Amino acid sequence: MQALKMAVLFFMMTIPFSSYAEKAATIEEMVKMYDSSSCKECHEEIYMQWEKSHHARPLMGVKGGIFLKGVLSSAFAPKDIKMATKKNFPCFKCHLPQALDAEDSVSAEIAQAVAAGDKAIVSKLQITCIVCHNTKAILHRLQDGKPEKGVLYGSKDISEHGDSSYAQVKKSVIMKESIFCGQCHGLGPNFDAENPYQCATLYGSYIHSYIPSGGAQSCQECHMKDGDHLIAPNWDDPGTARLLSDAISLDVETLGYEWLRAKGDLRPMIVVNTKITHKAGHRIPDG
Amino acid sequence: MEVTAKSEAGKEIFNKQVHYHPQATTCRDTKMLYGAQWKTQYIRDTSLQPRKAKKETIEIALPKGVRTADVTVDLFYELVNPSMKFPIHTVNRKVTLDR
């Protein structure tokens, strides 16, 4: 009986510590937990595409900037950056979901790195393979449960996946569906924080404009053709201009004539008619 | 999109920009602003909608003595600020009233 009491006491004492142990307390720990560099060994081409993508620098913005800096001067700004918490960074929901599973000390560390413009640290904070292929891979959690630790999710089941940390790949029912991307490429104002905020509304445009007008393609069919993980556009790549010119058409018609305003009052005039169309399944611009 | 017209002498006689994008405020005042941390609601949306053509008719009244103009229509994508441009299409037309 004494042994049983001791066992129960030990079990109760270890719960908080083991839970704590699963949460990253520093950026370094979090980066290590979500590190997907081992994926490169077998999926080199995909990994290299991802490395060039905005998913690989979700807090950096474009042209080497740190977009998150703006949050530190907004209504979400912490009074003391050393005391910043997840509540100060609603952007984490999509730009760094793993930070929501970490201790608040990670948020404070990120706040200090952002304030200091420390690109070396901020650039380590990425939407890695694990974020999409585990954290965000299950939406029907009442039916399918939460993503399992040590399991990756893809478009099909793979019973033997040659990775010691992720030995199995299970099929995610949403991986090829637009709703998968819609988790982050949003609907409209977010009301889950103490202040509303609004980032990308692309998925809202997709379901409320593109689909009602008869559109039938998924996000992945256009942005991930042949499994491309660059998921264009990449605003730091000059090739993006070519992508835009392929997707967007401009027709121009001109007419030169003399408009008769009143008797004897001919006014030389040029009329320019422009017509812009595009192939995207969402408004342009959006994100 | 920017439409410009120049006389044969190269002098700019017309310039107009049309901006296509959703526009948001904080809902606390009437100022438009960028930044997800501030934006709370679109108040106007002039963006290019899916599967819908965006058409404009632009009238250029030629100054006295000008009967021929070089018209340029530039379509570009502005990112972050007006100096960060991605060209999409440029169309040039010489338009004359003389036959």
Average pLDDT value for residue range A57-70: 90
Q: What are phi and psi of B44, to 5 degrees?
A: -155, 145
Cβ distance B5 to A270 under 8 Å?
A: yes
pLDDT digits (tens, 9 = 90+) for B7-30: 999 999 999 999 999 999 999 999
- Determine the distance in angstroms separating the CA of B31 from the nearest CA of chain A, rounded to an integer: 15
Interatomic CA distance for residues A58 and A51, integer angstroms: 11
Counted across chains A and B, CB pairs separated by less than 8 A come out at 169
Q: What is the ipTM of this complex?
A: 0.97
| Of the partner residues B51, B69, B89, the one whose CB lies closest to the CB of residue A213 | B51
Interatomic CA distance for residues B73 and A51, integer angstroms: 36
For chain B, domain boundaries = 1-18+56-99, 19-51
User: Which is it for the CA torsion A241, A242, A247, A252, positive or negative?
Assistant: positive
List the structure tokens of A215: 């559109």
Q: Do B88 and A255 touch (CB under 8 A)?
A: no
The mean of the pLDDT values for chain B is: 96
Average pLDDT value for residue range A205-217: 98
Q: How much is the pLDDT for A2?
A: 60
The mean of the pLDDT values for chain A is: 92
Q: What are phi and psi of A68, to 5 degrees?
A: -65, -15
Question: Sorting pLDDT into bands at 50, 70 and 90, what band is A75?
Answer: very high
| Of the partner residues A76, A198, A215, the one whose CB lies closest to the CB of residue B40 | A198
Exposed e or buried b per residue across B34-70, where buried means at least 16 C-beta atoms within 10 angstroms of its C-beta: ebbbbbbebeebebbbbbeebeeebebebeeebeebb
User: Which is it for the CA torsion A82, A22, A33, A199, positive or negative?
Assistant: negative
Q: Is A141 on the interface with B (CB under 8 A)?
A: no
User: By three-state DSSP, how is residue A287 classified?
Assistant: coil
Cβ distance A40 to A218 under 8 Å?
A: no
User: Which is it for the CA torsion A66, A229, A90, A102, positive or negative?
Assistant: negative
Interatomic CA distance for residues A201 and A79, integer angstroms: 30
Q: How much is the pLDDT for B61?
A: 98
Average pLDDT value for residue range A89-98: 96
How many C-beta atoms surround the C-beta of residue A56 within 10 A?
18
Cβ distance A206 to A219 under 8 Å?
A: yes
For A257, the closest chain B residue by CA position comes to B97
Q: In what order do the strands lie in the sheet with A265-278?
A: A248-262, A265-278, B54-61
Q: How much is the pLDDT for A11?
A: 44
Judge whether residue A138 has pLDDT over 50.
yes
Cβ distance A95 to A59 under 8 Å?
A: yes
Judge whether residue A192 has pLDDT over 80.
yes
Average pLDDT value for residue range A109-124: 97
Cβ distance A25 to A106 under 8 Å?
A: yes
Q: Name the E strands within B8-81.
A: 12-17, 22-25, 41-45, 54-61, 68-78
- Amino acid identity of A158? I
- Amino acid identity of B66? V
Q: How much is the pLDDT for B23?
A: 98
What residues of B are in contact with residue A65 (Cβ under 8 Å)?
A: 80
**Stretch among A94-98, A152-156, A241-245, B58-62 having the lowest mean pLDDT:** A241-245
Average pLDDT value for residue range A19-41: 89
Q: How much is the pLDDT for A6?
A: 55
- Determine the distance in angstroms separating the CA of B4 from the nearest CA of chain A, rounded to an integer: 10
The angle at the Cα of A127, spanning A118 to B40, to the nearest 5 degrees, equals 85
Q: Do A74 and B35 touch (CB under 8 A)?
A: yes
Percent of chain B scoring above 70 in pLDDT: 100
Q: How much is the pLDDT for B57?
A: 98
Judged by CB atoms within 8 Å, which residues 79-108 of A form the interface with B? 90-91
Question: Sorting pLDDT into bands at 50, 70 and 90, what band is A115?
Answer: very high
**Stretch among A191-200, A212-221, B45-54 having the lowest mean pLDDT:** A191-200
What residues of A are in contact with residue B86 (Cβ under 8 Å)?
A: 235, 240-241, 244
pLDDT digits (tens, 9 = 90+) for A232-252: 999 988 788 889 999 999 999
Test mutation, A69, A74, A198, chain B, max B CBs within 10 A: A198
Q: What is the pTM of this model?
A: 0.90
